[in-house]
A = this chain, B = another copy of it.
Amino acid sequence: MTVTPETGTPPTRGKRPKQGEPVIDRALSLLAVFSDRRRALTLSELARYADMPAPTALRLIARLVAWGALERLDDGRYVVGVRLWEVASLSPRGHGVREIALPYLEDLFEVTRHHVLLAVRDNEQAVLIERLSGKDATEVAYRVGGRAPLRSTAIGLVLLAGADQQFQETILKRPPENEPGVPEMPEGQLRRTLSDVRRTGIAMIRRTVPSRTVSVASPVFDAQGAVVASLSIVVPDGSTPPNVLAPAVRAAARAVSRNLGYQAEASAGVRTHSPG
């Protein structure tokens, strides 16, 4: 990548900017510093984590605050702003799918009163875009906006099984995910599992950490028949058997798909027949 007149930046007196990294990338890198465990950061923390001089960070932060992408707390730390949240709520793969899915997630939640999750794929991970959880539900590993691995979670396996073949081969070659409490599947078993998920419309994973749970997930399709999201429930292992839960999960995923314009008749494994 080369520096363009539009987005290039001159060298600063302090640390030189990385070659070919335009100012907009550096502003975005400040946003990328925030995470589940870094929700409020000082100027010096932001500069350090984003790897830029504090004066540079301060100038960029001032623009981000002026627009509302960041907000400054009374104690001087910075947090992600509600204006950014507002724009991001227009993300079709984030909020859009979520808004369409929510009533059906709520129906499914009524059945189990534990956890109902909805995720989309971003590169090599699943991003959780919704989680409904009972106040007394069993502990789970993931929060909304957080990421989950593709090969060792039910919600991830569904997204992986629905991805294009070339992407699947890339993921199959990756080193183990080392997800706590989930046995790693050898490549052959993983291939068979992905094939089963495509055929049955259901993925199932047992895990022992942070608690003994069973997850059952099913794909959400868009009007073009692509897997755009994955919907799952997580219940304590030993409560309702997964084969009893699977039809409810698949029905909810199909209802969401239908609302996204999907024609269920066209799908393998979940064919419908008109009566008579």
Interface residues of A (CB under 8 A from B): 4-7, 9-10, 12, 22-25, 27-28, 31-32, 34-36, 39-40, 56, 59-60, 63-64, 66-69, 71, 79-96, 99, 102-103, 106, 120, 122, 127, 129, 132-135, 143-145, 147
CB neighbours of A5 from chain B (8 A): 9-10, 12
Instruction: For the A-B complex with A84-B87, A85-B129 known, give 12 more contacts whose Cβ atoms are closer than 8 Å.
Output: A24-B60, A25-B67, A35-B90, A39-B92, A80-B92, A82-B122, A82-B129, A86-B122, A86-B145, A86-B147, A95-B144, A102-B132
User: Which residue of chain B is the closest to A71 with respect to CB atoms?
Assistant: B93
CB neighbours of A71 from chain B (8 A): 91, 93
Question: A63 and B24: CB pair below 8 A?
Answer: yes
CB neighbours of A92 from chain B (8 A): 39-40, 79-80
Question: A93 and B84: CB pair below 8 A?
Answer: no
CB neighbours of A91 from chain B (8 A): 71, 79-82, 84-85
Set B122, B135, B144: member contacting A99, Cβ < 8 A: B144
How many chain copies does the complex carry?
2
Q: How far is the CA of A83 from the CA of B92 in the complex (A)?
A: 12
User: Which residue of chain B is the closest to A122 with respect to CB atoms?
Assistant: B82
Question: B82 and A120: CB pair below 8 A?
Answer: yes
CB neighbours of A6 from chain B (8 A): 9, 12, 23, 56, 59-60
Question: A103 and B133: CB pair below 8 A?
Answer: yes
User: Which residue of chain B is the closest to A80 with respect to CB atoms?
Assistant: B91
- Least Cβ–Cβ distance between A67 and chain B, in angstroms: 5
Given A60-B7, A82-B127, A122-B68, A23-B22 contact (CB < 8 Å):
yes
Q: How far is the CA of A131 from the CA of B81 in the complex (A)?
A: 20
Q: How far is the CA of A32 from the CA of B34 in the complex (A)?
A: 21
Q: How far is the CA of A10 from the CA of B22 in the complex (A)?
A: 14
Question: B87 and A87: CB pair below 8 A?
Answer: no
Given A6-B9, A90-B80, A145-B95 contact (CB < 8 Å):
yes
Question: A87 and B82: CB pair below 8 A?
Answer: no
Question: B25 and A23: CB pair below 8 A?
Answer: no
